[in-house]
Structure 1
């Protein structure tokens, strides 16, 4: 049996045990400690922390997320780190409300109830779990590829009130392993393993600032979950939703969005088309989604912003938000690695 060590997190004064076989982030989840995280694969820097004391070693990670100079200085990615002694770790980013108040990670079996294309490359996958599956709007889960230990991460488009059915909007990539399942391998009635929920890009109840949602591609899923939750809770926060696509043919669920928006305060949906305006509604605007947001939103810093989409879109949006002086604690996103590069 692997040796066990004591981990102390500062400045929050939380302690836990971890074995040398465990990655620190995974061990924290199992013990009900919800640390900040993103991709959980060493590709982003959401879980970057600083080692005050102790011996930690990391599995393979991206130097874009934590470069050699940072590692030498004592920085570490908790999703890749193993402890080989008792350690004291300084958390650089944390949500005090989530740390000990998050939903416990669980693994459940879920049956495929529907597989329906919604655009040329995005599919709606609906699963029905045999037990209650708790999650917060904006979170995601891991779906295991049948017959393997591999998984892919997808955000929920529904809320937990949807009578046990969970919907995912999944972008298909040529040659992708999960994409192949959606091209005829997966059938209604098949069973998938679902682990979660993960993600810190969750809607913050009790906040009052206007909500601006920026999404592209399958990134619509967590935004729909957020919009549904706002409607279910009778929120009066003004909401604007910017969605980036190439052409009008890449837009979908417009009727669903309109229905949700009818019950939300000051709701606006703006389709942002980067390649062609042919066939678009008069409310659509030409340009990349971040270009349209920059044109229309003069006071971004007075809003809470939720992002989800391809990594380049998220990066561009973060650059815009920084230039617009939006405080970091008003920006929420989970940055996924690109499936196009990892065989999704």
Structure 2
């Protein structure tokens, strides 16, 4: 059995146990401690922290996320850090209200309930939890799905909420050569079993927050935004939401009727379809349509982004462009929420 050590997190004064056979972030998940995180692969910097005392090693991480000088100073990525003694770690990014309110990680055996194409390259995959029979998560979070026949996994956001515990929906974009997505055309069928682990991510509504909200999405990034909208409708949330969704053409839009229906149950909701390859798009009923990339449309439409909370989900280039836009508009970092997957997570 691996040796165990104690980790003390500052400045929040939380202690936990960690084994030498697990990463510190995984140990936190196991014990229901919701540390900030993103890719969980050592390629972003969401879980970057500072070692005040103790013996910690890191492996398999990107120097873009934590460079050599930072490592020499004592910085670590908790998703790739192993403790070999009792340690004291300073958290650089944390939400004190959520630290002890996270949902513990669950390993769930599921069965494919439905597979449906919603556009030419996006598929709705619905899974039914079998053992255990329910899967607990917060709207906006994501899960790891094991690629059948392998030990590899891919990360996908849930589009549903706890109001439908018998089924969990994922919206998955099919990329050429994608190991998981390729099986959705030929390889995965109704009744097949898929192992699910989760939930992960900090892309959740924050209790007690009142600022107007701006959603910016594209592609399969629709999933967590739809989960948030469904949750807001179910809980009679009164915050304003402006939802901008980027697509190439009208044929790449989906679930629009449900989005508009959900919006009618909210206090102040608008949905804007941003079409990058339709210079003169036809009228689309009640939908507001704008030409151009989604971030360009947001930039010319939203006049005070610094006084909003912004939720981003979509292809990495879209997220990067949105972050640049928000930086230019002086939007505080603690008002920006996104889970930045690395490329394999989209396959």
Same fold (TM > 0.5) = yes
TM-score when scaled to structure 2?
A: 0.95
**Aligned counterparts of 1:133 and 1:23: Cα–Cα separation in 2:** 24
Q: Contact between 1:240 and 1:268, CA under 8 Å: does it hold in 2?
A: yes
In the alignment of these two chains, the number of paired residues is 342
Give the alignment partner of residue 187 of structure 2, picking from 185, 195, 199: 185
For the residue of structure 2 that corresponds to 1:235, the secondary structure is: coil
Residue 36 of structure 1 and its aligned partner are, at CA, apart by 0.4
Residue matched to 2:278: 276
Q: Contact between 1:217 and 1:309, CA under 8 Å: does it hold in 2?
A: yes
Q: Contact between 2:229 and 2:262, CA under 8 Å: does it hold in 1?
A: yes
Residue 16 of structure 1 and its aligned partner are, at CA, apart by 1.4
Paired residues for 1:19-58 under 5 Å: 19-58=19-58
TM-score when scaled to structure 1?
A: 0.96
1:113/1:277 Cα in 2 relative to 1: closer, same or farther (>3 Å)?
farther
1:271/1:241 Cα in 2 relative to 1: closer, same or farther (>3 Å)?
same
Residue 108 of structure 1 and its aligned partner are, at CA, apart by 1.0
Residue matched to 2:215: 213
Q: Contact between 1:175 and 1:343, CA under 8 Å: does it hold in 2?
A: no
Q: Contact between 1:45 and 1:65, CA under 8 Å: does it hold in 2?
A: yes
For the residue of structure 2 that corresponds to 1:240, the secondary structure is: strand
Residue 67 of structure 1 and its aligned partner are, at CA, apart by 1.2
1:343/1:134 Cα in 2 relative to 1: closer, same or farther (>3 Å)?
closer
**Aligned counterparts of 1:343 and 1:33: Cα–Cα separation in 2:** 26
Q: Identify unmatched segments of 5+ residues in structure 2.
A: none
Residue matched to 1:301: 306
Residue 204 of structure 1 and its aligned partner are, at CA, apart by 1.5
Residue by residue over 1:71-100, the C-alpha shift from the partner in whole angstroms, topping out at 9 and shown as x without a partner, is: 111111000111122211100011112111
Residue 343 of structure 1 and its aligned partner are, at CA, apart by 8.7
Residue by residue over 1:261-319, the C-alpha shift from the partner in whole angstroms, topping out at 9 and shown as x without a partner, is: 11112211111111224544362111111111010011111111111111111111111
Q: Contact between 1:113 and 1:188, CA under 8 Å: does it hold in 2?
A: yes
Residue 338 of structure 1 and its aligned partner are, at CA, apart by 1.4
Q: Identify unmatched segments of 5+ residues in structure 1.
A: none
Residue 117 of structure 1 and its aligned partner are, at CA, apart by 0.7
Q: Contact between 1:59 and 1:81, CA under 8 Å: does it hold in 2?
A: yes
Give the alignment partner of residue 264 of structure 1, picking from 263, 266, 278: 266
**Aligned counterparts of 1:143 and 1:221: Cα–Cα separation in 2:** 15
Q: Contact between 2:106 and 2:198, CA under 8 Å: does it hold in 1?
A: yes
Q: Contact between 1:247 and 1:277, CA under 8 Å: does it hold in 2?
A: no
Paired residues for 1:11-26 under 5 Å: 11-26=11-26
Residue matched to 1:5: 5
**Aligned counterparts of 1:93 and 1:233: Cα–Cα separation in 2:** 29
**Aligned counterparts of 2:89 and 2:282: Cα–Cα separation in 1:** 52
1:16/1:190 Cα in 2 relative to 1: closer, same or farther (>3 Å)?
same
Residue by residue over 1:175-232, the C-alpha shift from the partner in whole angstroms, topping out at 9 and shown as x without a partner, is: 1110121012101011111111110110123221111100011000000000001100
For the residue of structure 2 that corresponds to 1:315, the secondary structure is: helix
1:272/1:19 Cα in 2 relative to 1: closer, same or farther (>3 Å)?
same
Residue 252 of structure 1 and its aligned partner are, at CA, apart by 1.1
Q: Contact between 1:239 and 1:266, CA under 8 Å: does it hold in 2?
A: yes
**Aligned counterparts of 2:346 and 2:229: Cα–Cα separation in 1:** 31
Paired residues for 1:1-344 under 5 Å: 1-130=1-130, 131-277=133-279, 279-281=281-283, 283-339=288-344, 344=347
For the residue of structure 2 that corresponds to 1:261, the secondary structure is: helix
**Aligned counterparts of 1:2 and 1:234: Cα–Cα separation in 2:** 48
CA RMSD, aligned part only? 1.4
Q: Contact between 1:246 and 1:276, CA under 8 Å: does it hold in 2?
A: yes
